[in-house]
Structure formats: structure tokens, C-alpha cells
Amino acid sequence: MVKKVTIMNNPLYPALLKKLSEGAELTKNEYLELIRNRETVRDMASELARAERDRSYGPCIFVRGLIEFTNCCRNDCYYCGIRRSNTNIRRYRLSPEDILSCVDTGYGLGFRTFVMQGGEDPYYTDDILSDIIRSIKELHPDCAVTLSAGERSYESYRKLREAGADRYLLRHETVNPGHYARLHPSSMSHKERTNRLKMLMELGFQTGAGFMVGSPYQTEEDLADELIFLRGLRPHMVGIGPFIPHKDTPFAGMEAGSSELTVFMLSLIRLTLPYVLLPATTALNTVDPQGRIKGINSGANVLMPNLTPEDLRNDYSLYDNKLTSGPGAAANIGLLKDLVRATGCTIVTDRGDCRYI
Ligand code: SAH
């Protein structure tokens, strides 16, 4: 007689999730089991993660105005559309005046955090960036400034912090050095990247780590390791989104990461780091029209609508088919409010600092 095994009824995975939601530390193997068997516990993970988010911050979704201030980059990451070697791209840089004008527009729309993200562009010296940060802070002292400008020296980060930058996003991209080496040219170092996260935390930035889900060569074991790494690092923010191929990169033909796995990872991150600020990213909404909603329903609590001048938005092309209009555009914050309200959450327009530093 054939023995029937119904995984659906295996009590192990729900028990593991419950344990995690009660604050216990899971082993790598336990995380791995959950990731491998996510089909069976997906809904439960979302539910627990949502409850955990609500316990930490209430059913609040924080919004950040995203200003993609330069698509010039000295790096050559194999996955990224604005990599140095891509000659099929119109490069741009926003002037300090342009950036301040984006901030003013965003301020009028209610934003109180601005994220300046760009390629690693040496044009923006410490002095230039510091002046921009100071101007934003002078004009709008009630706002937080987040930078996402890649790897710089300790001294540079120190100056930017001194100028008033509050937060810094620097995804480590992968926890696994061997995997890192398959995503980046040899001139880039995994150790240098992760060390910078420690520098940023030491300098008092609210710091964001993160990685792509489903990047080429990533394994489920890597994902389990990500959770162990994040638990040890205790960053204030974690940015994850599915990898999406870009036609002018060496990874053009690779498969995109899935919405379903990304959303599950969001739940596990929320349960592992209850206080974390966790965006539902544009990339997630690009692979899945319901991505933003699914992210929020699985414990995410940040959205980053786009404030980049409209005529340049398409040139900040990290990956193909990036969404640049609709509720993800800052000007359409009204649409976003409606979408968020339908999830039972409310958009909050204060700075949205991490509460448990
Ligand atoms: N230069 C900055 C900002 C990089 S762009 C820095 O080094 O931090 C922000 C993030 O977009 C990257 O950290 C990467 O995780 C993500 N990204 C880049 N290319 C991508 C792609 N093809 N698919 C999905 N995400 C991508």
C-alpha cells in the first residue's frame, strides 16, 4: 500500500513559525525548512508578520519620497542597468537646485523623509552632498534625509552624517562572499561592502541592509543565511526586492525573482526583526501588480514613491520595465492612500524613524 504523506498537515512548519513569532531564535536549518516548505505556511507567515508589524508600529505605512539623483556609476555590477559598461543609456545628474525642487514638491505633497539614491558617482563630492543635505535640513528641519549613494570612505560618511543625513541605505546584496563574486566584478569586495554597514551604524545612521531575492546563483540556503546575518546585524531598515533582468547587462537572459518568495522573505524578516522598517519595493510591484499590497499584507511598513523629475525617471533603469507611473509616483499619493486604506493600514506622513534603536 502506498503511504500518503500530506505535507499540508505537517505541524512542524506552523510550529516553527509560531516559535519565531514568539521571539525565539531559529537555526539556519529551521529557516531553511520554512523557506523550502513555504507553500504550506505562506498565509500563516503573512498573518503573523502583519500582527508583529502592528505591535511594533501600529497599522501604519511610512512613505519616503525617492529622488534618483544620478544614474552615473563607476561600478559595473552584473545585474544593474546603470552599470558603467552600459552605453545604451542616457546619463543624467540632478543639480543641487533640481534636488531641492524635488524636495519642495515632495514636502508640499506631505513627505517628511527624502531618500537620495543614485549610482556611485564621484561627481558628488562630500562637499557637494553635504551642502545639499544642509540646504534640505535648513529649509525643512522637520524632515529626515536618507542617502543611498553606495560605498564611500568612513571619513566621507562621517562628513555626511555631520551635515545632517539621518539614514543610509546600503544593501549588502548577498551574505555569501562566493555569491557576491558571481554578481560583481573582482574589483568589488564583499568584505568592503559589509564592513560599511558596520561603519554606518557606528556613525549613528539609521542603517539599511538588504539583498535581491532570486538573484542569479542564489540558493535557498543563502536566503536562510540572510536571516541569520540580519538577526546578528540588527539594521534599522531592510530593503529587499526581486531581481529583475535588464536587457543591457550580462544577466539579461536570467530569470527574475518571484513575488511569492519575496513576500515570504518579507514575512520572515518582519518576524525576525519586529522593529525593522521594511519597504514593499518598486521591484516587487514590477514583477507583480499586486506586489505592493501583498508586501503590506505580509509585514512591510514602508513605501517609497518616486519624486524624480518625470522626464528622467525612465533613465534610472536598474532593471527592465521599472514602474514609473501610477500609485508609485509621488504626485499620485492620493491613489496610494486609497490602496493602503484597502489593506486596513494608514499612510503616515511623519519622519517615520525606527522606534527601537
Ligand atoms: N549605488 C547605490 C544604489 C544602488 S541601486 C548602492 O550601491 O547602494 C539600489 C539597489 O537596487 C541595489 O542595491 C540593488 O539591490 C537593486 N538593484 C540593482 N539592479 C537590480 C536589478 N536588476 N533587479 C532588482 N534590483 C536591482
φ, ψ for residue 40 (rounded to 5)? -80, -20
Exposed, middle or buried by CB within 10 Å (0-12, 13-18, 19+), for 309? middle
Rg (CA), the chain: 20
Closest by Cα among 300, 305, 308 to 259: 300
Residue 189 has pLDDT above 70, yes or no: yes
Whether 82 is covered by a domain: the verdict is yes
The pLDDT, as a whole number, for residue 323 is 87
Handedness of CA 323, 276, 102, 93 (dihedral sign): negative
**pLDDT class for 357, splitting at 50, 70, 90?**
low
Which atom of ligand 1 approaches the CA of 79 most closely?
Answer: 22
**pLDDT class for 168, splitting at 50, 70, 90?**
very high
For 238, how many CA atoms within 13 A lie in the half-sphere containing its CB? 28
Q: Give 104-162 pLDDT, tens digit per residue.
A: 999 999 999 999 999 999 999 999 999 999 999 999 999 999 999 999 999 999 999 99
Region 154-182 average pLDDT: 98
Output the CA 243–ligand 1 centroid distance in Å: 9
> To test the ligand 1 pocket, which listed residue (68, 71, 80) has its Cβ within 8 A of the most ligand atoms?
80
Whether 51 is covered by a domain: the verdict is no
Q: Give 284-311 pLDDT, tens digit per residue.
A: 999 999 999 999 999 999 999 999 999 9
What whole-number distance in Å separates Cα of residue 69 and Cα of residue 100?
Answer: 11
Q: Please give the full DSSP string across 146-187, using - where no structure is assigned.
A: EEE-----HHHHHHHHHTT--EEE---B-S-HHHHHHHS-TT
The pLDDT, as a whole number, for residue 21 is 97
Output the CA 206–ligand 1 centroid distance in Å: 19
Report the range of poorest mean pLDDT among 37-51, 227-241, 317-331. Answer: 317-331
Exposed, middle or buried by CB within 10 Å (0-12, 13-18, 19+), for 7? exposed
Q: Give 202-252 pLDDT, tens digit per residue.
A: 999 999 999 999 999 999 999 999 999 999 999 999 999 999 999 999 999
**pLDDT class for 187, splitting at 50, 70, 90?**
very high
Q: Give 61-87 pLDDT, tens digit per residue.
A: 999 999 999 999 999 999 999 999 999
Question: In angstroms, how far is the first alpha carbon of the chain from the final one?
Answer: 58
Q: CATH number of the domain at 298, please.
A: 3.20.20.70
Greater model confidence, 355 or 9:
355
Residue 144 has a CB neighbour count (10 Å cut-off) of 22
Query: In the structure grid, which three cell numbers stand for residue 118, read together?
Result: 543614485
What whole-number distance in Å separates Cα of residue 134 and Cα of residue 238?
Answer: 26
The pLDDT, as a whole number, for residue 258 is 98
Please indicate, yes or no, whether the overall pTM of this predicted structure exceeds 0.85.
yes
The pLDDT, as a whole number, for residue 11 is 82
Q: Supply the DSSP symbol for 118.
A: E
The pLDDT, as a whole number, for residue 3 is 52
The pLDDT, as a whole number, for residue 264 is 98
Whether 40 is covered by a domain: the verdict is no
Output the CA 80–ligand 1 centroid distance in Å: 6
Whether 23 is covered by a domain: the verdict is no
**Total domains in the fold of the chain:** 1
Whether 322 is covered by a domain: the verdict is yes
Own/partner pairs, 188-197, CB within 8 angstroms, 24+ separation? 188/75, 188/77, 192/151, 193/151, 196/151, 196/157, 196/170, 197/170, 197/172, 197/233, 197/235
Whether 86 is covered by a domain: the verdict is yes
The pLDDT, as a whole number, for residue 248 is 98
Q: Which domain holds residue 268?
A: 58-348
Contact assessment for residue 280 and residue 304, using Cβ atoms and an 8 Å cutoff: no
> To test the ligand 1 pocket, which listed residue (73, 93, 115, 171) has its Cβ within 8 A of the most ligand atoms?
171
Whether 34 is covered by a domain: the verdict is no
Q: Grid cell 484597502 — which residue?
A: 342
Q: Please give the full DSSP string across 215-255, using - where no structure is assigned.
A: -TT--HHHHHHHHHHHHHH--SEEEEEE----TTSTTTTSP
Q: Which residues approach ligand 1 with their CB closer than 6 A?
A: 79-80, 117, 119-120, 148, 150, 170-171, 173, 212, 241, 243-244, 246, 283, 318-319
Whether 8 is covered by a domain: the verdict is no
φ, ψ for residue 73 (rounded to 5)? -150, 135
Query: In the structure grid, which three cell numbers stand for residue 173, read together?
Result: 546584496
CA distances to 54, 201, 220 from 302, rounded to whole Å, are 13, 20, 25
What whole-number distance in Å separates Cα of residue 310 and Cα of residue 312?
Answer: 5
**pLDDT class for 95, splitting at 50, 70, 90?**
very high
Q: Give 1-25 pLDDT, tens digit per residue.
A: 555 544 455 789 999 999 999 999 9
The pLDDT, as a whole number, for residue 19 is 97
